Chain A
Amino acid sequence: MRANFVASEVSSGIRRNLTMTMAVIITVAVSLGLFGASMLVRAQVSTMKDFWYDKVEVSIFLCGKGSDTPSCAGGPVTGAQRDQIKADLESLKPLVDSVYYESQAEAFARFQEQFKNSPIVDNVKPTALPESFRVKLSDPTKYDVVASAFAGRPGIEQVNDQRKILDKFFQLLGGLQLIALLIALSMLVVTVLLIVNTMRVAAFSRRRETSIMRLVGASNFYIQLPFLLEAAVAAGIGAILAVVGLVFVKIIVIDQVLAPSFQFTAFVGWDAVLAIAPLMILVGVGLAAIAAFFTLRKYLRV
């Protein structure tokens, strides 16, 4: 194996085919960038899930004076009912992590705090807010167990799972991620086709060399290696550009723009970027390899 010779063949091949090589680099960079971005959104969704599911709780609102659900037909919740509910909740341990009772006064205080800048505060009286049990679950996905046990029980107006609200949001993000992934996949197909075409042009522009190589008995590997390396170099540069883009997104968009503006939630960390980057490079190399495999079989046979 003559490394110098192969290197010079590859560099002359790339120079000769510069516009196509540039096209490959850019397409690889864009498609892998999209792929990386969709992976990043996915990581973001899972980060937010971890962050928020830890904080969500199941709220069991108790009947107040104005409640009109059927389970509140007996009027406001009685002390006995309240104690029974609390005891039943405690008996659901370990699923129930902790139970916190919020009285009407406390609910009003929290309400005032949440809406302190809004005129709505002045129109709400403490008795308008229901008392409730705030239940934290050790496994937030087992919400149904609590809901089926308590919903519709006398003295309970409503059982609310905050997770449901979040899930809608996450579904939206998941949908966006899916769209990004679909676009990325179609771009990846375009990339493969472009690489195939580029290699075909390269094979054509080097047909004199390859025909002589075959005649003097160069091995298949030796004939195909410069093409493989050209594709690999172009795809590699594209992949590196895509990774650089991903790092920029993390530094500029996430750390400097999004994170300061949305401090109430968590954002993906460098661990996610570190996990996605090798995946992107792997996909890029895989693409080039697939394209090369088909091209070489078709255009560079002995």
Chain B
Amino acid sequence: MILFDRVTKLYANQERPALDEVSLEIEKGEFVFLVGPSGSGKSTFLRLVLREERPTKGQVWVAGKELNRLSNWKIPALRRQIGTVFQDFRLLPNKSVAENVAFALEVIGKPASHIRKVVPEVLEVVGLEGKEERRPDELSGGEQQRVAIARAFVNRPILLIADEPTGNLDPGTSVGIMKLLDRINQLGTTVVMSTHDQAIVDQMRRRVIELEGGHVVRDQSRGVYGYAR
């Protein structure tokens, strides 16, 4: 699903690369935690997968495509296969829950009949049935993140990128979100999630990739957040 082959990313005006000769592979259907301190390269990793950045050196393969050779007009097609969730939800405040989810389909030109069918389905998956007409500011943080996950998942992506999805949520709510991401993973979507949330990583016991200073310092299946320090 994702293959990094000796990938180096050096931002302009910076001496130290954000990622330094990183090679790793994530298989289809995996659930991967990306951990590490701030500035360790997690966000760069995710941005490279989304082709928001290009690597300075090396190759990034996503869903069978080498992103360096992907022409600009094919980027949207790549991103339609990838769902994205952020710490800050990124919902449209002037649209209702259902409209926020429908927006993702409208802007890629899906027919209205299809949208009317799949939006209620995905809202049921994330547990928001009955709240379709609410505005984001009428929802709790956990509910807002569920809307964002629904939006990311409504087009049934093969890969879900979650950038600290529980970073703004209390522990109880976070557990609910993790259950949801786990369910989406069970439905066949590969999930890559960056996080600082030790309790969650320790509890889930999934593959953990730890980055530090742009290097992979640990890649462990059924791992925990960190060694006892």
Q: Mark B63-103, 1 if CB is under 8 A from A, else 0.
A: 00000000011011111111010000010100000000001
Q: Do A1 and B73 form a contact, CB below 8 Å, given A208-B90, A212-B104, A217-B80?
A: no
B-contacting 9-mer, from A158-166, A218-226, A242-250, A261-269 = A218-226
Q: Does A302 contact B (CB under 8 A)?
A: yes
| Bound form: Cα–Cα A223–B107 in Å | 8
What B residues does A82 contact at CB under 8 A? none
* From A209, A211, A216, contact of B108 by CB (8 A): A216
What A residues does B112 contact at CB under 8 A? 2, 4
What A residues does B103 contact at CB under 8 A? 209, 212
Q: Mark B173-200, 1 if CB is under 8 A from A, else 0.
A: 0000000000000000000000000000
- Cβ-defined contact, A217 with B77, below 8 A: yes
CB-based nearest A residue for B77 = A217
| Bound form: Cα–Cα A12–B90 in Å | 20
Q: Does A214 contact B (CB under 8 A)?
A: yes
Report A199-232 residues with CB < 8 Å from chain B CB.
Answer: 208-209, 211-220, 222-223
- Cβ-defined contact, A215 with B50, below 8 A: yes
Chain B interface size range: 20 to 34
What A residues does B84 contact at CB under 8 A? 215-216
What B residues does A223 contact at CB under 8 A? 107
| Bound form: Cα–Cα A208–B94 in Å | 11
B51 to chain A, nearest CB (A): 9
What A residues does B80 contact at CB under 8 A? 216-217
CB-based nearest A residue for B82 = A217
Q: Does A5 contact B (CB under 8 A)?
A: yes
What A residues does B107 contact at CB under 8 A? 5, 212-213, 216, 218, 222-223
Instruction: Please give the residue numbers on chain A whose beta carbons come within 8 Å of chain B beta carbons, in ascending order.
Output: 1-2, 4-5, 208-209, 211-220, 222-223, 302
- Cβ-defined contact, A220 with B109, below 8 A: no
- Cβ-defined contact, B155 with A216, below 8 A: yes
* From A1, A212, A219, contact of B76 by CB (8 A): A219
Q: Does B106 contact A (CB under 8 A)?
A: yes
| Bound form: Cα–Cα A222–B103 in Å | 12
Known pairs A2-B106, A209-B92, A216-B80 / 12 extra A-B pairs, C-beta < 8 Å: A2-B110, A2-B111, A212-B90, A215-B50, A217-B79, A217-B80, A218-B76, A219-B73, A219-B109, A220-B73, A222-B108, A223-B107
- Cβ-defined contact, A212 with B92, below 8 A: yes
- Cβ-defined contact, B90 with A211, below 8 A: yes
| Bound form: Cα–Cα A218–B151 in Å | 14
| Bound form: Cα–Cα A169–B112 in Å | 65
Q: Do A216 and B151 form a contact, CB below 8 Å, given A209-B92, A302-B72?
A: yes
What B residues does A215 contact at CB under 8 A? 50, 79, 84
In the complex, 7 of the A-B residue pairs with CB atoms within 8 angstroms, ordered by the A residue number, are: A208-B90, A209-B92, A214-B79, A216-B80, A216-B152, A217-B79, A222-B109
What B residues does A216 contact at CB under 8 A? 79-80, 84, 104, 107-108, 151-152, 155
What B residues does A222 contact at CB under 8 A? 107-109
CB-based nearest B residue for A302 = B75
- Cβ-defined contact, B78 with A217, below 8 A: yes
| Bound form: Cα–Cα A212–B136 in Å | 15
CB-based nearest A residue for B95 = A209
| Bound form: Cα–Cα A212–B154 in Å | 14
CB-based nearest A residue for B148 = A212
| Bound form: Cα–Cα A302–B104 in Å | 16
